[in-house]
Amino acid sequence: MDVICVGEIVVDFIPIDDFTYKACFGGAPMNCAIACSKLGLKVGAITAVGNDAFGRFLINTLNEHGVDTSHVKIIKGTRTTLAFVVKLPGGEREFFFYRKPWSLSADTELKLTDSDVEYLRRAKVVHISGFALSQEPSRSEILNILPKLKAHNVLLSLDPTFRIDVWDSKEEARETYNEVLKYVDILLATLKEYSLLFETSDIGECIRSASKTGIKIIGIKMGEKGAVLSNGDKAFFMKAYKVPVKDTVGAGDAWNAGILYSLIRKLSLDHSLKIANAVAAIKCMHIGAIAGLPTIDEVERFIELHRENVPEQFPL
């Protein structure tokens, strides 16, 4: 596999009107898995669903988009995790979860077998979600495999996917993330998440702090303000593409996929940022986390149509 995504899979209920919701595929690492597959990468998934209609819907969706589901678990006695998206003024949103610590659902009960570990060892990149680290037993299961992946030179990508609703406290989240950062090669996070991790919202300081931990690729997502991508030695900033936005759910996951695709294809830092911003922009023109995700040909055509928007070197 080029990429194996590990962590939560959920049904996102997206608001259409005030109290009319549409059930959509969701879960940050699995959104990223489908986006990577659409771009042309060979992708696998390790996650858990309940033995119910929602779980079957999620597995079928992964299969339909070319993601290998041979290591997806169906856990008896649990229900598939649900998330309700609440739109806030100014275009922001928050999530309301049916999941630990509020109720038992499948994604937190993920347990990894020797077969799973062998599967992960053969990947070029393993992409994990910090959301999956918020509860046991999935937290310990994922933490325990990280040294094994490092020993086999598998690149580890982390999206913190911080949602306070599923953690006991910010302090617990920070301590857990710090354990994981020892093994991370690629950090793809929002500026708010960098502030949680390194206690600064200064972009230069965030990059320097991440580099000191040994992280090789540092991506900073800032929504409509754009994004920054750095390898520790140099950095680029790029404005977000201006598009008619229908839904921002999953935009960060789409952006992650653009970065992972570019790294596996060994593209330059600035072109990687173009691709990631384009994948995210195209997604935002559709409702739902995976609707409208583009192929790489569609991405390149989009970039050509918007060639006036280019990355700028960011001073470190």
**Cα–Cα distance measured from residue 63 to residue 185, given in angstroms and rounded to the nearest whole number:** 28
Query: What digits encode the pLDDT tens for the residues 220-232?
Result: 999 999 999 999 9
Q: What is the pLDDT of residue 101?
A: 86
Q: What is the pLDDT of residue 90?
A: 60
Which residues on adjacent β-strands are paired with residue 46?
Answer: 6
* Mean pLDDT value across residues 283-307: 94
**What distance separates the 2 farthest-apart alpha carbons in the chain?**
54
What domains lie within the chain, and their CATH numbers?
3-9+28-80+108-314 (3.40.1190.20)
Q: What is the pLDDT of residue 116?
A: 97
Give which of 21, 28, 23, 16 is closest to 221, Cα–Cα: 28
* Mean pLDDT value across residues 132-153: 95
* Mean pLDDT value across residues 6-17: 89
* pTM of this structure: 0.93
CA distances to 13, 221, 305 from 224, rounded to whole Å, are: 23, 9, 19
Phi and psi at residue 110, to the nearest 5°: -60, 130
* Mean pLDDT value across residues 16-37: 91
* Mean pLDDT value across residues 248-267: 96
